[in-house]
Amino acid sequence: MHTGRSWPRTEPADQASPVLLAGDLFLVAHQKTRRCEIHSRVLASGLAGSLLAELVLFGNISAKNGVLKVERREPPRDALAHSVLDTMLSQPQHQDLSTWVRFWETSAVDEVAKRLQRRGLVRKAPRWGVRRSRSGWETVGREDVVAAPGLRLAYRLMPYSHGGADPLSSADVMLASLVDLLGLTETVLWDRMTRPAALAELGRVRACLTPNLTEVLEAVSQVKTGQVLAPH
């Protein structure tokens, strides 16, 4: 039987998984056909939340009652997370979590894609035509590598892995929650037979999400719902 550790990862093992959250979500959104399968604004709101969640996981920021607070000014090693924190530090007048989700929504897709591009995992794709990708990017390289985040989630949410293997990390619980929020659950949990049990497990683990990450998830959910409610 496989264990959680045996699944391929998209990053070298010595790097902490929180760094990968936004990249993992990006790869899941492109897992099925190597091109983005959801609306670009939906993906953008999810990635914006992921970037903030990465800082929560690094311990740089916290969120309470919809307000962000910088807890630790020392930047993370990841350049993009560093840049996100730096921007937030330069704009102390903005503390509303939803405002920051909307702000990063404007650039999150390209920023996260460029981070993955530096690892050789994505490349530019046309936005229109037969080969179009809604995000403007497509995944490249070994399929097991680009599909790793989705496979990891699927494996750890499957009923046969509940009793053993690794429990889901906070980052993976957040990833699974965002995957569900963005409507990508069926992409990850492709096996219809085991999907109900996996969804039940997802409901259970999501209830264990830390308050800070729950706040971020709530902000993404609000922004995403607001996109649907607003005429455009």
Partner 1 sequence: MSTIEFPRPQVGDLVAQTLARDRLGVWAVVFFVLSAAAPFTVVAGVVTTGWAVTGIIALSVAFLVIGVVLMLFSVGYVAMARRIEHAGAFYAYIARGLGRPAGVGAAWVALLSYNALQVGLYGAVGAAAEPVLAMLGVTVPWYLVALMSWALVAVLGVLRVDVNGKVLAGLLVSEIVVIVVFDAANLLHPFEGVMSFAALNPETLANPGVGATFALAVLGFVGFESAATFSEESRDPQRTVPIATYLSVGILMSLYSVSSWAITVVVGPDNVVQAAKDKSVGLIFDLAATHLGATVAGIGSVLFLTSVIAAMISFHNTTGRYIFALGREGVLPRIFGKVWQKTNAPVAGSLAQSVLGLAVILTYAAMGWDPLVQLFFWCGTSGGVGVLLLITTTSVSVLAFFIRERDEENVWQAVIAPVLSCAALLVISACAIANLDVLLGVPGPLRWTPAAGFAGLAVFGIIVGLMLKVWRPEVYERIGAGAKAALTVDASVGVHRAVA
Which residues of the shown chain bind partner 1 in the complex (CB under 8 A)?
Answer: 37-39, 41-42, 74-75, 77, 79, 82-83, 86-87, 90-91, 93-94, 99-100, 102-103, 106, 134, 180-184, 196, 199-200, 202-204, 206-207, 214, 217-218, 221-232
Other CB atoms within 10 Å distance of the CB of residue 213? 23
Smaller CB separation from partner 1, 136 or 183? 183
Q: Which residues does 11 contact at the CB level (< 8 Å), separation at least 6?
A: 17, 19, 20, 23, 119
CB of 142 to partner 1, least distance (A): 26
CB of 38 to partner 1, least distance (A): 4
C-alpha to C-alpha distance for 109 and 87, rounded to whole angstroms: 17
Which residue's entry shows tokens 């496979």?
151
Q: Which residues pair with 136 in a beta bridge?
A: none
CA 155 to chain centre: 17
What tokens does 10 get? 């998209």
Smaller CB separation from partner 1, 97 or 145? 97
Helix axes 148-157, 170-181, angle to 10 degrees: 100
- With the C-alpha atoms ordered 169, 170, 174, 180, is the resulting torsion angle positive or negative? positive
Smaller CB separation from partner 1, 107 or 117? 107
What tokens does 149 get? 């985040």
CB of 93 to partner 1, least distance (A): 7
CB of 75 to partner 1, least distance (A): 6
CB of 202 to partner 1, least distance (A): 7
Phi-psi region of 165 (alpha: psi -120 to 50; beta: other; left: phi over 0): left
First to last CA, the chain: 50
Smaller CB separation from partner 1, 9 or 82? 82
Smaller CB separation from partner 1, 7 or 100? 100
Smaller CB separation from partner 1, 151 or 197? 197
CB of 144 to partner 1, least distance (A): 25
